[in-house]
């Protein structure tokens, strides 16, 4: 097989992107637009239905195919309904991007003091949510001859310090496990670990005048902060025929931050 750039095309594929309708400039929005631009029909799924509708409308206005679906990824019945909505709209699912997460709205308390309620809430969305969404679409992927699952982890998991990082490191474990268990069905599972991204949520967490930016400047090999669009190339590789032999991997898109100090 000779490589051509067409192997990055996703024409005829159906992609579900969770957490794609949140705060205006979000990573999920960039992912959804990127997948649609490569030819996929996109299910824009989010707890925030109005936000999801806005992103779906943006895709359709640009000539793509998209529908908005309300989902709570922490709720099994809701994820199953999302899978059914994808099947009704576009016939099934080939690609799942588990991007929904609690990041800003999570406890940054110490492990010694964080409430068990906050702990469980973080895991119910950031880990269980990815599992439930995967379970909701795996039968469809299998029936269609294969699929792609991409889990959005974080540079904050390497090493994990705090509840957010722990939940995102657990997601790496889910990634390697699903990769191993689904590979024979032609389903790959990989993760993307972004560094500090200037999405609206990222800027809430790390404002432009935060001292953390100085630390990033000292430790990143290249520029310390990236824009949501700078993650899309990695997603395209993991979702398209170009990346069909890659599974169980975590791709760090972070300006080399993972190599700190």
Enumerate the active-site residues. 164
Length of the chain: 261
DSSP-assigned letters across all residues of 12-67: T-EEEEET-SSSSS-HHHHHHHHHHHTT-EEEEEES-HHHHHHHHHHHHHTT-EEE
**Cα(116)–Cα(26) distance, integer angstroms:** 29
Nearer to ligand NAD, 58 or 63 (CB): 58
| Smallest distance, ligand NAD to C-beta of residue 170, A | 13
The burial of 160, by beta-carbon neighbours within 10 Å (0-12 exposed, 13-18 middle, 19 or more buried), is given as: middle
| Smallest distance, ligand NAD to C-beta of residue 3, A | 30
| Smallest distance, ligand NAD to C-beta of residue 178, A | 17
Nearer to ligand NAD, 66 or 197 (CB): 197
**Cα(79)–Cα(194) distance, integer angstroms:** 25
| Smallest distance, ligand NAD to C-beta of residue 26, A | 3
Q: How far is CA 77 from the centre of its chain?
A: 20
**Cα(17)–Cα(1) distance, integer angstroms:** 30
CB neighbours of residue 92 within 10 Å: 17
Distances (CA, A) of 172 to 116, 131, 176: 22, 12, 6
Nearer to ligand NAD, 118 or 186 (CB): 118
**Cα(225)–Cα(59) distance, integer angstroms:** 26
**Which residues bind to ligand NAD, rule: CB under 6 A?**
18-19, 21-23, 26-28, 46-48, 71-74, 99-103, 125, 129, 152, 154-155, 194, 196-197, 199, 201-202
| Smallest distance, ligand NAD to C-beta of residue 73, A | 4
**Cα(134)–Cα(118) distance, integer angstroms:** 24
């Amino acid at each position: 097989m000779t490589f051509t750039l067409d192997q990055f095309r996703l024409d005829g594929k159906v992609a579900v992107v969770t957490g794609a309708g949140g705060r205006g400039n979000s990573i999920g929005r960039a992912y959804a637009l990127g997948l649609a631009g490569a030819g996929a029909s996109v299910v824009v799924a989010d707890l925030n239905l109005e936000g999801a509708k806005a992103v779906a409308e943006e895709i359709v206005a640009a000539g793509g195919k998209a529908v908005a679906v309300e989902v709570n990824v922490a709720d099994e019945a809701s994820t199953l309904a999302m899978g059914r909505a994808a099947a009704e709209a576009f016939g099934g699912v080939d690609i799942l991007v588990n991007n929904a997460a609690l990041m800003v709205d999570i406890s940054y308390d110490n492990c010694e003091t964080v409430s068990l309620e906050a702990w469980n809430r973080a895991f119910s969305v950031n880990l269980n949510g990815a599992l439930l969404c995967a379970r909701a679409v795996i039968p469809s992927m299998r029936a269609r001859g294969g699929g792609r699952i991409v889990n959005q982890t974080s540079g904050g998991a390497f090493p994990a310090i705090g509840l957010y990082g722990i939940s995102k490191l657990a997601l790496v474990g889910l990634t390697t496990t699903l990769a191993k268990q689904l590979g024979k069905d032609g389903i790959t599972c990989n993760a993307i670990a972004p560094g500090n991204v200037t999405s609206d949520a990222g800027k809430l967490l790390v404002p432009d005048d935060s001292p953390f930016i100085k630390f990033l400047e000292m430790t990143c090999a290249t520029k310390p902060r990236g824009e949501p669009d700078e993650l899309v190339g990695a997603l395209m590789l993991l979702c398209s025929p170009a990346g069909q032999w890659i599974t169980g991997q975590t791709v760090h898109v972070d300006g080399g931050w993972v190599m700190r100090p």
